[in-house]
Amino acid sequence: MRTEIASLGEFGLIDHLTKDIKLTQKSSIKGVGDDAAVVDNGENRTLVTTDLLLEGIHFDLVYTPLKHLGYKAAVVNFSDIYAMNGKPQQITVSLGISKRFSVEDLEDFYSGLKLACEIYGVDIVGGDTTSSLTGFTISITCIGSVEKRKIVYREGAKNSDLIYVSGDLGASYMGLQLLEREKSVFDGDKDFQPDFGGREYLLERQIKPEARKDIIQLLEENGIIPTSMIDLSDGLSSDLLHICNRSNVGCQLFEERIPIDYQTAAMAETFNMNVTTVALNGGEDYELLFTVPLHLHEKMSKLEAIRLVGHITPPEQGCYLVTRDGQEMQLRAQGWNPIADE
């Protein structure tokens, strides 16, 4: 019997391959199933996360400058560490390079990588380089740290907890749609000038995202430790379901509260897309989605750049989106799946 990989989906495949893995080292606190692995380091916890980026799957060099790619490749790993309420400290960088890339190309990539590390206070401490027959491959491992008492997992959300999200959603996906549209018009025309006027915010969210270090600092300054947290890489719907599944809870998410930038809404209208669907399923926003106890509502309401979007319910009530007209729609994990059939 042959089972197609695409039939399981990315997270189904991970669960299938890792379900029988047992941690045998006393220092191994948390393995597969969160934004980062957790290793005991005395009073602190060491966090470890790895990302693999493949040309043609995760990025397109037709419209992605190598400097921006280096920056983004680092930042998306930092985001995983922040999602554990930790601080990124070191990265290792491994590259697979085809012959079409020059030393100058790799210098551009590394200039973006080093800029991200400089801004976020992270050291590049090692890696590996090899030849590739399939274009450009990037693998980055990020190591971070967090105090034992402050670590936050995807599990931990409790009934009546409030659900918050930072920033706004859907902009990165609309930036990608804009880039893909202009690429299709370009089609090899050297004199073609893309039309990005008034859409710079969308492009920046796609090509040069930022990790929400500021939100982690804001929560720390106000003495708030979330009960659960995840970074929004796969879409609000998919990532909220990760929290609910790991925490064994349900949720109510309110459509009218989902934060959406004006440029995102305008671009969705241009593409004849439902902007709520874009915000729910677009992915690559790298905002933080987290839950806090109900009694912190007044304190949370005074914080900027954070939006209350829903609340946690008992597991038997399921996971639903409450639409603007009061209808309840079951949440589904419809975010991007990198191993799906084309």
Which residues does 313 contact at the CB level (< 8 Å), separation at least 6? 159, 249, 250, 251, 252
Task: Concatenate the DSSP letters of all residues of 152-211 into one string.
Answer: --SS---TT-EEEEES-SSHHHHHHHHHHHHHHHHTT-TT-----TT-HHHHHHHHS---
| The model's pTM | 0.88
Q: What was the pLDDT predicted at 337?
A: 52
- Within 13 Å and on the Cβ side, how many CA atoms surround 312? 30
Q: What was the pLDDT predicted at 339?
A: 44
Domain limits, CATH 3.90.650.10, in the chain: 162-330
CA separation for the pair 241, 141 (Å, rounded): 25
Tokens of 2: 């042959």
Q: Which of 168, 165, 177, 167 is nearest to 268 (CA)?
A: 177
CATH fold of 5-150 reads 60s Ribosomal Protein L30; Chain: A; (3.30.1330)
Tokens of 254: 């309110």
Contact present, 76 and 233 (Cβ < 8 Å): yes
Domain limits, CATH 3.30.1330.10, in the chain: 5-150
Residue 327: exposure state from Cβ atoms within 10 A (0-12, 13-18, ≥19): exposed
- The pLDDT tens digits of the residues spanning 193-215 come to 666 677 999 999 999 999 999 99
Q: What was the pLDDT predicted at 257?
A: 98
Mean pLDDT, contiguous 10-residue spans, the chain (342 residues): 65 61 57 70 87 91 95 97 96 92 93 96 91 91 94 96 98 94 68 71 96 98 97 95 96 98 95 95 96 97 96 97 95 64 46
- The pLDDT tens digits of the residues spanning 270-287 come to 999 999 999 999 999 999
Q: What was the pLDDT predicted at 20?
A: 62
Which residues does 281 contact at the CB level (< 8 Å), separation at least 6? 173, 235, 236, 237, 238, 334, 335, 336
Q: What was the pLDDT predicted at 37?
A: 82
Residue 89 sits at φ, ψ, to 5 deg, of -130, -40
Q: Which architecture characterizes domain 162-330 according to CATH?
A: Alpha-Beta Complex (3.90)
CA separation for the pair 198, 193 (Å, rounded): 15
